[in-house]
Amino acid sequence: MKNFLPVIVFFSLLAGACSVLAYEMGSSSYRIQSSSLNVGGTSQSSTNYRMEETIGEIASDESASASYKLKAGYQQMQEVYISISASANVSMTPELQAITGGTSNGTATINVKTDSLAGYNLKLNVSTTPALKSGSAEFPDYTEASPPAPDYDWSIGTANSEFGFTPWGQDTVQKYRYVGTDCNQSGGTADGNQCWDGLEGSTEIQIAQSSSSNHPSGTDTYVKYQGEIKSNGFQTPGNYTATVTATATAN
């Protein structure tokens, strides 16, 4: 076996719509999306519709300018804005050799913007198991030593080869944060060198979340992908690719 061709991660995006909107009051047990000050009212419903009535409020219309939009009046519909963008396809380097082995990696940057006062969630998933393939040849997913916590250090144990990832950024979830040499630690640190995990087929893996608006600049989350072939390990040569879908939803 000669050269092991570069590993490429094709990155696709999905911006999810959200049915849970921003709220104006809340506690640990409940949230009030909108409040109304009036002298009375009731609601009526059927199999297909529900109508809410009020007495004493003005039914105003929408007002807008270049910078703002105001929806005044009784329970005007609230809308939440969310967007997601990412760097182009990730080409992992250096090129791996099937006989001498080695480690290859590449990083994707995902930016999520939302004006939702309750923030957002960001998840990854792939459509195949394992994630990285070349035709019928497969590159095994990374296996954690003690799941569900990721591995603090990258180690493929006795495997010939494996492919995994680690995320970092200010909104990285607790699972990928570490204190000392332990991952899944509240208030811990997240970076591109520790807390390694494997992609799990169609299972969505949450990598970031927030509880407040970050509009208009958004927040970057970074995902480092890494693959390793052991020296004299067996791995079929080929041009391996994985399609990873990032899904952002507003809270």
Which structural domains are found in the chain, ordered by start? 8-18+83-250 (2.60.40)
223: pLDDT strictly greater than 60: yes
Average pLDDT over the chain reads 82
Q: Which of 217, 204, 206 minimizes the C-alpha distance to 171?
A: 206
Query: Model confidence at 21, in pLDDT bands (50, 70, 90)?
Result: very low
Model pLDDT, residue 176: 97
Q: Which of 195, 193, 171, 9 minimizes the C-alpha distance to 86?
A: 9
Mean pLDDT value of segment 132-157: 92
Kindly report which listed range (127-136, 167-176, 233-242) carries the lowest average pLDDT score. 233-242
pLDDT tens for 29-87 read 666 666 666 666 677 788 877 777 766 666 566 777 887 777 666 655 567 889 999 88
Mean pLDDT value of segment 167-176: 97
Model pLDDT, residue 74: 61
Model pLDDT, residue 88: 78
Kindly report which listed range (190-194, 219-223, 227-231) carries the lowest average pLDDT score. 227-231
Model pLDDT, residue 50: 73
Contact predicate 229/186, CB 8 Å: no
Inter-CA distances, 212 with 20, 50, 76, 244, Å: 14, 31, 22, 26
Q: Please indicate, yes or no, whether the overall pTM of this predicted structure exceeds 0.85.
A: no
Q: Specify the higher pLDDT residue, 95 or 232.
A: 95
Model pLDDT, residue 44: 79
CB neighbour burial string for 55-84, b if at least 16 within 10 angstroms, e if fewer: eeeeeeeeeeeeeeeeeeebeeeeebebeb
What is the rounded distance in angstroms from the CA atom of residue 112 to the CA atom of residue 164?
23
- Cα–Cα–Cα angle for 155, 161, 165, nearest 5°? 60
Contact predicate 246/123, CB 8 Å: yes
| Sign of the CA dihedral running 202, 206, 208, 210 | positive
3-state helix, strand, coil in the chain (%, to 5): 0, 45, 55
The label of the residue with tokens 């329970």 reads 75
| Sign of the CA dihedral running 62, 63, 69, 72 | negative
pLDDT tens for 192-222 read 999 999 998 778 999 999 999 998 899 999 9
Which structure tokens are listed for 116? Answer: 């939702």
Instruction: Provide the 10 A C-beta neighbour count for residue 242.
Output: 25
